[in-house]
Amino acid sequence: MPLTAQYWIDHLYLQPHPEGGYYKEVFRSTNGVIRVGEQIEKQACTSIYYLLEGKDFSGFHRLASDELWYFHKGAPLHIHVIDNDGAHSVIELSDSATGQLQAVIPPNTWFASEIPSGSGFALVSCAVAPGFDFAEFEMAKQDKLIAQWPQHKDLLERLCRE
């Protein structure tokens, strides 16, 4: 039996994610940390399985924490990153010669992901430290990012959900 996207969605009990794709939280640390300059304790780390398939994409978003991505199975995945100076870079997450098995997205950095071939699926894990909190998750507003970085208009029109 070939291991398809649906197999992994069912096998790992993945649910639709608001940014696109499917996910399941698999770890939430009971340890706490406090960011430098803040007073509120956060959970030290969280981890999810995350799956994209076909032409679906993870829309541009940003988090207040570092996010580490780990490749597991499937097609190469491109992570598009726009840094605070507006520079665009692409990280290929894959087990191919052109890819890497893990990537780090710094806090408060806009990023999105897609399968460049538009077919198959990519199964990854994402760890967030300090731990993921929807209150610190921001989906990009296409018009605001295009106004800020008009040189990336085509990319932002393609990979923003709002």
pLDDT in tens, 20-33: 999 999 999 999 99
- In a 13 Å sphere around the CA of 35, the CA atoms on its Cβ side amount to 13
DSSP notation for 108-143: T-EEEEE-TTSSSEEEEEEEEESPP-GGGEEE--HH
pTM for this one?
0.94
Question: In a 3-state reduction of DSSP, which class is residue 88?
Answer: strand
Question: Sign of the CA dihedral 83, 81, 106, 59?
Answer: positive
pLDDT in tens, 114-158: 999 999 999 999 999 999 998 999 999 999 999 999 999 999 999
Partnered with residue 123 across adjacent β-strands are 51, 73
Confidence of residue 19 (pLDDT cuts 50, 70, 90): confident
The pLDDT of residue 18: 85
The mean predicted confidence, pLDDT, of the chain is 96
Confidence of residue 1 (pLDDT cuts 50, 70, 90): low
Cα–Cα distance between 49 and 27 in angstroms, integer? 10
As a whole-number percent, the residues of the chain with pLDDT over 90 amount to 93
Q: Locate tokens 């969605």: which residue?
A: 9
Cα–Cα distance between 55 and 158 in angstroms, integer? 11
Report the pLDDT averaged over residues 71-91: 97
Assess contact for 142 and 157: CB atoms under 8 A.
Answer: yes
The pLDDT of residue 84: 93
